[in-house]
Structure 1
Amino acid sequence: MDLFKVTDSSKREKGSNTVDNGPKFSKNRIKPDLKQNVKVLLVGYNGANNTGSEARLISIVNDVRNVLGPDVFITIPTLNEKNLRRYIKEETNLKIVPISSIFFFAVKKLVKEHDLVLLVEGSCYMDTWTSALLWAFLWATRCASSFKKPCIAYSVDAGDLSFLNKFLVKREASKTDLIIARTELAADRLKKLGVTAPIKHTADNAFIFQKDVEDENVLKDVWAKKSLHQSGAGVVGFAVVDFYLWPVVIMPWGRSRDLYKWPYYFSRSKKRSRESDELAGRWAAAADRVVEKYGKNVALLCMEELDEPFARSVLGKMQNSKNAHIFSSREFNTSKMTGILQSLELLVTSRYHAAVLSLEAAVPQIAVAHDPRLIGLYRELEMDSYLFDYRTEKSDKKWDEIEKNINELIENPDKIHKKLKQGYKEHLICAKKNKELLRDFLIERGWEVR
């Protein structure tokens, strides 16, 4: 079989847990010494105090151990060791490895030392956040191909790319042994780019994540401690993102306030700052209307620590700020953030994983998207009428439509309850197929699996 003529996207059928047989996997890779512990490298956005990445990583570690057994040796590289240790415990067979922000030599060395490479970042094939992150994943793929080590992109997404990055993704992602896309839209995007690796589509691993029982009442407990005249009211969540910080760009120097991690700086200009301020005002106005019209409280949700400054800006613009509270992934781990999300009466989100992690509780939701990730998810949920693409829909009229949908779902939350329940069921079934694809992939190579 000619690997470079094969692409495939397994169709998600309503209520079905089937994934088509598709193409066989490429076998042109070195088989590990099965007498020793197999070594697996997980390359992703690890240690960023990002709720979605945290949920994915925990679920993927469990998948790897379910397939290869508890003795499998797992290595997780990170730019922030301290943050990663908050939710990943280093053990005899799990190692956390800090790497430099200039990652090329470190990643190459790690790939060479391992038997299997998994790309575990959801936003894998996009440059929305920064080209550097994309290049890290493509570089890991290139190194794996060079060393003849099997490489899988594990439940990932594809989004906006510059002309150069489209070329790089087509060339380097085609060297991947298997790409598991988390939405059909992502799979289609990769095919249209000309990526020739085998492609399946399932669902995001975060759908498998389960919160701890003791975290079910986090939202209620926090609000009970606040001195509010509406302390017994329901809570509407706003998962906000400052679209105008991104992408992070590579510069030898810049303003210290714009520094992410040298040599990476947030994109800032007078125009961007003005647009960011305007966006914060839009969110604040929407939050105030929820408080004034319905007597609800507002949770400003920071799914990544980097969202905090923008959330504070929104809070500072609210007329009813005493009825709002910021919940940040810096303070609350994924289990607690999931408990908060699933306790909301309504979610308005610009974060993909806020939508995913709230879905189990069928929390009514509206998306204000700035890249294709939420678009792909909402298309599969058949929720297009509750989706707003901020890249093309910034007008007052669109915010009026968002307000109209907020009113509708607060007043009639049961309207989409069945759709959300069914959507969660279907995505959970498909997310569980990720480890089955991993198992089949390794069996094809004669690996010992459970």
Structure 2
Amino acid sequence: MQSNTANHDLKSRENPPNPRVLLVGYNGANNTGSEARLLAIIEDVRSLLGPQVEITVPTLNEENLRRYLAEDEHLHIAPIPSIFFLAIDKLVKQHDLVLLVEGSCYMDTWTSALLWAFLWATHSAHRQNKPCVAYAVDAGELSPLNRWLVKREASKTDLIITRTRHALERLQKIGVTAPITSTADCAYTFQEDSKDQDFLNSLWPEASEGTVGLAVVDFSLWPVVIRPWGREENLYKWPYYFSRSPERMKIREKLMEGWARTADEIIQKHHKKVVFICMEELDQPLAEDIQERMENKDKCRIVSSRQYNASQMTSMLSGLDLLVTSRYHSAVLSLRAGVPQIAVAHDPRLTSLYQDLHLYQDYLLCHDDPHLWEDLQGKINLLLGDSDLQKDKLEPGLSQQLTLSQKNRIILGKFLKEKNIIS
């Protein structure tokens, strides 16, 4: 295994006056969490390197990325192809610093291809003697092959900052030898626009009567697999296809039935409105199908990242009476408003967060628990009956997570000084 002792002294090379920073992540997917992270990280980079720093954001989805990221003379959007190896290699060569900015960095829950893109960026940076930092990232489930790849390639990273202590421990257990420290997710420092305050009520005035948010995920789609061909309805972006199967469609059917019953009971028993929160646009078809199953469709709305940006979605989350979520970043972005929450988890990210918030024992449910829907309804009844039940955990949890998140910029600043990128 190669060590991390290579000298990445940028000022010793002939560079333009402004450092060039490459942000490698899940950019342009109409994903609220990735959007909030990206915008917060751009602020961190500019605060440390100045407003003239040259920042490049590569993406498979240029049109989507331009919805929320304004390109200017110092901020550049770089479209890359689905087979990304050569494009990433070239971009790394053109830049002075590589930041891995995707939260779900070291896991193959969604697709191995995404993991390989981040590992390839690290590999390319190491080979080209460019400093590389994984910036407030997570680690989760990995196949044996991907564990071996992470151990080999992530060890070439100059610095890994994980967003939970549990992610740090997972990487160390795998055998990653790069310097690792743990903080919290960048999205805690994301600030919504003041014009988006009270967004939910302005969008849906009836929501002022009280609203429960359900952030759903279609578990049956994942992981995305690499195939030379497949059914058009399963195509994500060639050569990536959703891994549908008869068994997975049964899972989806159970999800629709369970969420529809849950939403109807919230409306009928607690006289609340329900908003389905699509933190990624891929969640929207499931939300629409659930709504079709409901008896009380007129008292339910769908709010999707396909239409609304991270500022609007964050404001909407802050206006809820209760959040039931399968999405990590809806839990994070609602925390600042002290919204009571319950997780229906399907990977280690929510599990790790709820352990940090001390909500794991009482308010985290596994998506394949045989008593999921009965237990979920019981917890919904409990929190809607007393909204202060989690107060002693949410307030100190937010304070701790925000303090840790603010350390990301400090740690990056120290790294940049060590590499003579800033004085």
TM-score scaled by structure 1? Answer: 0.91
Corresponding residue for 2:209? 233
Structure 2 counterpart of 1:415, from 389, 393, 396 = 389
- 1:242 equivalenced with 2:210 (yes/no): no
- Counterpart of 1:386 in structure 2 is 363
Shift of 1:213: 1.5
1:31 and 2:5 are equivalent in the alignment: no
Shift of 1:413: 0.7
Structure 1 residue aligned with 2:235: 259
**Residue 101 of structure 1: aligned partner:** 82
Residue of structure 1 in register with 2:255 after alignment: 279
Counterpart mapping for 1:94-243 below 5 A: 94-224=75-205, 232-243=208-219
CA deviation after TM superposition for structure 1 residue 189, in Å: 0.5
Whether the 8 Å CA contact 1:123–1:157 is kept in 2: the answer is yes
Query: Residue 44 and residue 35 in structure 1: after superposition, are their counterparts in 2 closer, same or farther (change >3 A)?
Result: closer
SS of the aligned residue for 1:432 comes to helix
Determine if the alignment matches structure 1 residue 399 to structure 2 residue 373.
yes
1:394 positional shift: 2.5
Query: Structure 1's 3 and 444: CA in aligned 2 closer, same or farther, altered over 3 A?
Result: farther
Match for residue 430 of structure 1 among 390, 404, 409: 404
Counterpart of 2:397 in structure 1: which amino acid?
Answer: G
Q: Are residues 1:83 and 2:64 paired?
A: yes
| In 2: Cα distance, 1:131 partner to 1:343 partner | 36
The alpha-carbon deviation at position 233 of structure 1 amounts to 2.0
What are the superposed Cα offsets for residues 412-436 of structure 1, whole Å, 9 maximum, x if unpaired?
0101123111111111111111111
Residue aligning to 1:289:
265
* Map 1:37-76 → 2, pairs under 5 A: 37-76=18-57
Residues 27 and 445, structure 1, Cα contact 8 Å, conserved in 2:
no
Contact 2:19 2:421 in 1 (8 A): no
**Cα shift at 1:277:** 1.1
1:447 Cα deviation after fit: 2.1
State the aligned residue count: 420
User: Structure 2: any 5+ residue segments left out of the alignment?
Assistant: none
CA separation in 2, counterparts of 1:231 and 1:305? 22
- Once residues 3 and 71 of structure 1 are traced to their aligned partners in structure 2, the CA distance between those partners, rounded to angstroms, is 34
Q: Distance in 1 between matches of 2:2 and 2:92?
A: 22
Listed one character per residue, the Cα deviations across residues 207-227 of structure 1 (whole Å, up to 9, x for unaligned) are 000111221211112222xxx
CA contact (8 A) 1:75 1:97 kept: yes
Give, in angstroms, the shift of residue 321 of structure 1. Answer: 1.2
CA RMSD across the alignment: 1.4
> Tell me, what secondary structure is at the counterpart of 2:209?
coil
CA distance in 2, matches of 1:126, 1:355: 20
User: Using the alignment, how far apart are the partners of 2:200 and 2:332 within structure 1?
Assistant: 18
Q: Which amino acid aligns with 1:268?
A: R
Q: 2:320 pairs with 340, 344, 355, which one? A: 344
Deviation at 1:231, TM superposition (A): 5.7
- 1:66, 1:222 → 2: CA distance? 34
Mark the runs of 5 or more structure 1 residues left unpaired by the alignment: 5-24, 225-229
Letter in 2 for 1:388: L
The CA deviation at 1:271 is: 1.3
Q: Is the 8 A contact 2:147 2:174 kept in 1?
A: yes
